Chain A
Amino acid sequence: MTKKRPFANIFLAIIFIILYAPIFYLIFYSFNSGGTMSGFDGFTLDWYKELFQDTRLLIIVLNTLVIALLSALISTIIGVLGAIAIRSFKRKQQNTLLSFNNVLIVSPDVIIGASFLILFTIAGFRLGFYSVLLSHIAFSIPIVVLMVLPKLSEMSPTLIDAAKDLGASNWNVLTKVILPYITPGIFAGFFMALTYSLDDFAVTFFVTGNGFSTLSVEIYSLARQGISLNINALSSLLFLATILLVIVYYYVTKRSGTRGVNFRK
């Protein structure tokens, strides 16, 4: 289409500018020596230096990463097995299970957070690392299931029949046929779980105790105190990390052939 449509292009341009302006605004001021997000006084890397000397913040970053990796790993294992089990049920039961599965996906974060807080308190579970980890596993499992299920339903049931026909035991069927076949779905699920965990604020905010904090919660409490260009420096780094992650994700999914774009809630 070579038709010129100046209005359409201007409209799209404005949308893109609005979407990206705040992000670049943040990054821009992370180099401001003035200490505010208005009036650029001069270029400095002080905020980055300060960031890397802040051991407390670095520990929080580490916590966030550990929680994300662990919760993604565990929820992927449980979710993949769950998805395989769901597929072997009859259609009606599948739908019931899927409704349960989707409850946590459509539930607002506040409700997940509040109800988990009640759960942990009633169970006498101490709030801290483990309550956050469990919560992250809990809200990541349904996403993994949803990422894996399409791959499973795409797989012709005769493949499993064929494997059994050739003498494969149930374990053989799982490890030699099903898992290799759904590998792209498993990767996508793991990746989604990772980003859900990294991005989560509300649920963590409810179930984290006094001693434990993740990056999102930390940013919130810093932001409530007003502007501090440490956060800007941090956000530039996070932006870079996000872009990197997106590129890696697209590279992985392109190669393994999963189609479609997904994003977090």
Chain B
Amino acid sequence: MNNKLSRNLYMIPYAIWILLFVIAPILLVVYYSFIDTQGNFSFVNYEKFFSSVYLKMTLSSFWYAFLITLISLIIAYPTAYLLTKTKHKQLWLLLIIVPSWINLLLKAYAFIGIFGTYGVANSFLEVVGIGTQQLLFTDFSFIFVSVYIFIPFMILPIFNALDNVNPTLLDAANDLGASKWTTFRRVIFPITLDGVKSGIQITFIPALSLFMLTRLIAGNRVITLGTAIEQHFLVTQDWGMGATIAVFLIIAMFIIMFITGHRKRGA
């Protein structure tokens, strides 16, 4: 049928894209992970990855990502919940999202100023009486800025999930004798779990891989998987090792997506 013909015609550029920019890059990364610095096939990269230096780095990268995700969730859930109770909730939500449209680097740059030795943060500490602290280039500043960046992304899916909860369900729970807290624990939270999972997915994976933040804010004190990949590809030019770390990052990504996976409902 000529239906099939036109479909195939539409498909050609898209299929080429899948081949060239989806499948080929993944295969190339896997291929490069088996190439050592001399250009020979070997498992040396994998041996290196399982050495204590890289394992420690991986572990700390996961730890930071976990902290960032957890703090974002703790702040984002009540925010989303309170937002759904406001009068013009769509407008407020929009205002929450606008900062996420601002270029990431500009926000990071702002914090260089804020956390600088003479920045507002330190002036504030001075006034409170704690005195000037080294804020920039610390774990604290890295986590703070990361949470700052990811919060809107965490709020949005949770807000949408909360907003979709049918209000009669709450009446029903009330009617059946549930207290406010029970209603939340037994009805609202389970229903919004999918939103929470999307939020975690949207935060955790980038938190593992963001490298400009570690460079600009953490001053190389924190090395994430992303930083390590960038380092190997663009600084030390050891593409094999970089590709190996990328392979593990991809595996981590699939595991996280599997854990937080749920029935697709569209964006």
A and B, one complex? yes
Is B168 in the interface zone, CB < 8 Å from A? Answer: no
Among B46-54, B98-106, B186-194, the one that faces the other chain is B98-106
A206 in contact with B233 (CB, 8 Å): yes
A138 in contact with B216 (CB, 8 Å): no
Inter-chain contacts of B11 with A (CB < 8 A): 81-82, 85
Interface flags, A37-81, vs B, CB<8A=1, else 0? 111000000000000000000000000000000000000011101
Is A256 in the interface zone, CB < 8 Å from B? Answer: no
A263 in contact with B106 (CB, 8 Å): no
Query: CA A11 – CA B92 in complex, angstroms?
Result: 14
Query: CA A37 – CA B104 in complex, angstroms?
Result: 18
Q: How many residues of B contact A (CB 8 A)?
A: 90
Q: Using a CB-CB cutoff of 8 Å, which residues 226-265 of chain A contact chain B?
A: 226-227, 231, 235, 238-239, 242-243, 245-246, 250, 260-265
Interface flags, A153-174, vs B, CB<8A=1, else 0? 0000000000000000011001
Residue from B13, B17, B153 having most chain A Cβ neighbours under 10 A: B17
Q: Using a CB-CB cutoff of 8 Å, which residues 66-123 of chain A contact chain B?
A: 77-79, 81-82, 84-86, 88-89, 97, 100-101, 103-104, 106-112, 114-119, 122
- Main secondary structure on B side of the interface with A: helix
| Minimum CB–CB distance for A116 against chain B, Å | 6
Query: CA A149 – CA B253 in complex, angstroms?
Result: 25
Is B173 in the interface zone, CB < 8 Å from A? Answer: no
- Main secondary structure on A side of the interface with B: helix
Instruction: Count CB-based A-B contacts (< 8 Å).
Output: 246
A108 in contact with B206 (CB, 8 Å): yes
Query: CA A198 – CA B118 in complex, angstroms?
Result: 32
Return the contact of B148 from the options A11, A18, A86, A206 (Cβ within 8 A): A18
Give 7 pairs: A residue, B residue, CB < 8 Å, sorted on A: A15-B96, A25-B113, A26-B113, A111-B250, A141-B14, A223-B105, A226-B112
Which residues of B come within 8 Å of A, CB atoms? 2-3, 6-8, 10-11, 13-14, 17-18, 20-26, 28-29, 32, 75, 78-79, 82-83, 85-87, 90, 92-114, 116, 118-120, 123, 148, 151-153, 156, 160, 201-202, 205-206, 208-209, 211-212, 215-216, 225-226, 229-230, 233-234, 239, 242-243, 246, 249-250, 253, 257, 266-267
